[in-house]
Structure 1
Amino acid sequence: MNAFAPPLPGCRILVVFGTRPEAIKMMPVLAALRARPGLRPISCATGQHAALVADVLAEFGERAEIDLGALPPGSGLPLLTGYLLTAVAGAIAAARPDLVLVQGDTLSAFATALAAHQAGIPVGHVEAGLRSGDLANPWPEEFHRVSIDAMAALRFAPTEAAAAHLRAEYGRGQILVTGNTGIDALFRARRTGVVPVAIAPGRRLLLVTAHRRENWGAPLLRIADAVAALAARGDVELVWPLHPNPEVRDAVTRRLAGVPRVHLLGPLPHCDSVALMRAASLLLTDSGGMQEEAPALGCPVLVLREVTERPEVVAAGAAEVVGTTTEGILAAAQALLEDPSRLAAMARPVFPFGDGRAAERIAAGIAAWWEARCSASA
């Protein structure tokens, strides 16, 4: 853990992130918290995706005031959960925050919320209220997000639908609809990125990402088989930036390395990922964040999962949920590629996840909560 000076008086907020998507979505929040008088954010990196988070911090000109170091490699979920719970508990004890702020549904977010709850520290949950209704999909994220919301004192819902889930479960409580901070980060990143591969003239770019734990193994190989079949069309090129986890990287590389018109890349800066989405004719992904970002860029989405906790993107006409069978993915992609009018209709930019000001609303909500808390204790 890095040494750091004791925070100044005011509302001390431990802002915790461990994965690349968490870090991207928390960077606008950090900036918004710093801009409000009386709020004192302290950034903390758990090390779940240590190298990827370091790249995000560098891209945003940030640093982690508390860095818990990289997680031990090769450990299963129970050991990683215990490790993170213990490490974050130490950070909470050192920082003495008035509020612990987590984002989304990762193992880092869950362990942090649990550590804060056990320490009697209020929890704020950014991106609260998402639900698939199935604890096995996505696994283990659905359980994480439900559990975090149960422990949270402040629930920042990205959409009205997410807020409705929270009201049904907890009553009105401290629920604020803010939009998604991923859109805040997207608006910043879209000004600077570059497409990292050259696509031959006359061919359309298809962007692929898949990394979720429930898709490891057979589902990931079926996705890779669909990519190989699409590449055989000859009029498209597929770009797949690979997650560095060996369960993903090694399996996909074994199946697709050397396949013509398939470009396997390493992890990219956020701004270059955004540039790829802007250039793509179609996105095939199991990523939650990309389901939020792509509609704002006018990039049609095929969701490589059995269910999505972001139904707003489907209702907006920007995405279809197609599952993970090779045949289903291939049929859905071929149908869109052969129907220009339908593809164009899906490519109209829509903004179901906000206007790029979510972080401001979160900071304002925390400031109001802190003022009320101080008034009550006066």
Structure 2
Amino acid sequence: MARAHPRLKVLSIFGTRPEAIKMAPLVKALAAEPGIDSHICITGQHQTMLQQVLDMFELKADYTLDVMTPGQTLNTLTAALYAAIDPVLEQVQPDKVLVHGDTTSALVAAMSAFHRRIPVAHIEAGLRTGDIHQPWPEEMNRRNIDLISDHLFTPTEASRRNVLGERLQGKSFVTGNTVIDALQMTAERIDRNRQLRVALDRQFNFLVPGRKVLLVTGHRRENFGEGFLDICKALRTLARRDDVQIVYPVHLNPNVLGPVTEHLGDLPNVHLIKPLDYLSFVRLMQLAHVILTDSGGVQEEAPSLGKPVLVMRDVTERPEAVTAGTVRLVGTDPDTIVRGVCELFDDDALWRRISQAANPYGDGKACSRIVDALMGRPVDEFVVEPPARRPAPTEAQRPAAPLRSVSRLH
């Protein structure tokens, strides 16, 4: 009788909510592959929000680390992560370690595996701004991870050109971004289930039908201080419009929560709400007309939902969306932000042109491509297809009638 081929033991390590969202569909795909023995280690930077993502995708961590302490610096976090991750590697003895993106946990996990000569696979490899200080420290993190990775899973052809230009030793594959897999799974779940939509919309019962929604997210370190004051100034100006309602799920970091609450908390059409779980946030993106953000992930997700994005950063490691026309950079200058938002609210032809542009970040098949590559099978790499005309909004994409209660931060 032929001997069974040994299963590939894969350990996925991640710790923040954005990492969890992008890794969840991949971890599910790994678990479903007969040739893979999949394990999950979460480092726990965003413990509560991270658990919400795991629960939503019906995942359970095999190892949960407790590394966060009040007032922690990046150096003390790094030291704690090294001390916590190494025993997990010793116990699991994985054939490959998978990390995502550019967080401190991803960097330390990759370096810990490298020190043990365990091959590293980097999901979302090859992103670059060309400035190691923007975003900080993420740009340096991802460059270092790419340098030591054996598998470089780049979301786009441009990101693959980055790693090829740096002559890195890892083998590269253009897979699309796993966040599009997660988004499509979540949006389809919402669209299929009217009862779920009604339940989700109860959180947004302050929305007034007929008024366009400006969804705002902001949390980047480089915008702390003067940057957030300028963002608040722009939002106060935009709030004077009687056809706009602004919804801002506010990050709980005091550097964000403090200025945002102080400068925007008294405006009736600015809704400062608590951070949302992923299912609720996807629903809110569906209901938005324009999204104003400094997030990386939102730049990738929103085009799949037909939502124009204005990015409150001076540079982006995701230039493909700028080239495709789905994203515009506005920085944190108040006048530039106001002008960019007003153009999209007032020019329907411009809004339609941007909303119908092709999403350069994926087609929902990134996870299957990554699994194929890990198993040594041929990979049908991701290629951006020409955009199809986007259909009119469905019932699932329209705001529900308003109810009475409102959940605000203030």
Give the structure-1-normalised TM-score.
0.92
SS at match of 2:251: coil
**In structure 1, what is the Cα distance between the partners aligned to 2:311 and 2:102?**
18
Matched, 1:270 2:267: no
Match of 2:301 among 271, 288, 293: 293
In the alignment, structure 1 residue 214 sits paired with structure 2 residue 211: no
Contact 2:150 2:169 in 1 (8 A): no
Please, which of 283, 288, 291 is the counterpart of residue 280 of structure 1? 288
Match for residue 73 of structure 1?
70
2:55 aligned residue (54, 58, 75): 58
CA distance in structure 2 between the aligned counterparts of 1:91 and 1:173, rounded to whole angstroms:
24
8 Å CA contact retained: 2:11, 2:39: yes
Q: Note the 1:6-25 alignment, pairs <5 A.
A: 10-25=7-22
After the TM superposition, which residues 164-179 of structure 1 pair with which residues of structure 2 at under 5 Å, given as runs? 164-170=161-167, 173-179=170-176
Contact 1:297–1:349 (8 Å) recurs in 2? no
Q: 1:74 to 1:9 in 2, by over 3 A?
A: farther
Structure 2 unmatched runs, 5+: 191-196, 378-410
Contact 1:166 1:172 (C-alpha < 8 Å) held by counterparts: no
Alpha carbons 2:324, 2:357 under 8 Å: kept: no
Question: How do 1:133-148 and structure 2 match up within 5 A?
Answer: 133-148=130-145
Q: Is the 8 A contact 1:50 1:69 kept in 2?
A: no
- Mean CA deviation greater in 304-313 or 195-204: 195-204
CA distance in structure 2 between the partners assigned to 1:57 and 1:200 by the alignment: 32
Contact 1:13–1:100 under 8 Å retained in 2:
yes
Structure 2 distance, partners of 1:286, 1:306, is: 10
Match of 1:374 in 2: none
Q: Is this contact kept in 1: 2:67–2:80, CA < 8 A?
A: no
Displacement of 1:121 in angstroms is: 1.2
Q: Do 2:8 and 2:37's aligned partners in 1 also have CA atoms closer than 8 Å?
A: yes
Percent identity for Structure 1 against Structure 2: 45
Question: Are 1:236 and 2:244 counterparts?
Answer: yes
Instruction: Report the equivalent of 2:367.
Output: 359
In the TM superposition, what is the alpha-carbon distance from 1:336 to its structure 2 partner?
Answer: 2.1
- Matched with 1:98 is 95
Q: 1:200, 1:211 → 2: CA distance?
A: 26
Aligned equivalents of 1:48 and 1:29: distance in 2? 20
Q: Please report how far the alpha carbon of residue 52 of structure 1 lies from its aligned counterpart in structure 2 after TM superposition.
A: 1.1
The answer as to whether partners of 2:14 and 2:43 remain within 8 angstroms in 1 is yes
CA distance in 2, matches of 1:41, 1:255: 47
SS of residue matched to 1:368: coil
Shift of 1:256: 1.4
Deviations 1:46-65 (A, max 9, x none): 01111110111111111211
CA distance in 2, matches of 1:312, 1:258: 38
1:122-181 deviation line (CA, Å, top 9, x unaligned): 110000001111111111100001010001011000011101111111267410111100
Q: Could you tell me which residue of structure 1 aligns to residue 329 of structure 2?
A: 321
Aligned to 1:86: 83
Structure 1 distance, partners of 2:257, 2:39, is 33
* Maintained 8 Å contact 2:103/2:141: yes
What is the aligned length? 362
Aligned residue number for residue 384 of structure 2: none
2:204 matched residue in structure 1:
197
The root-mean-square deviation of aligned C-alpha atoms, in Å, is 1.6
Q: Which amino acid counterpart does residue 283 of structure 2 have in structure 1?
A: A
Give the structure 1 partner of residue 232 of structure 2: 224
- Of 254, 260, 265 in structure 2, the residue corresponding to residue 252 of structure 1 is 260
User: What is the aligned partner in structure 2 of residue 35 from structure 1?
Assistant: 32
Q: 1:61 and 1:171, CA in 2 relative to 1: closer, same or farther beyond 3 A?
A: closer
Equivalent residue, structure 2, for 1:307: 315
Amino acid at match of 1:228: R
Give the Cα–Cα distance (whole angstroms) in 1 for the partners of residues 84 and 9 of structure 2: 19
Instruction: Give the secondary-structure state (helix, strand or coil) at the position aligned to 2:375.
Output: helix
Structure 1 distance, partners of 2:121, 2:129, is 21
Would you say the 8 A contact 1:291–1:301 is kept in 2?
yes
Cα pair 1:313 1:352 within 8 Å, conserved? yes
Conserved 8 A contact 1:167-1:173: no
Give the Å deviation of 1:70. Answer: 5.1
What is the TM-score of this pair, normalised by structure 2? 0.85
Partner of 2:356: 348
* Paired letter, 1:90: P
- Is contact 2:175-2:369 (8 Å) kept? yes
User: Does structure 1 conserve the Cα–Cα contact (< 8 Å) formed by 2:89 and 2:113?
Assistant: yes
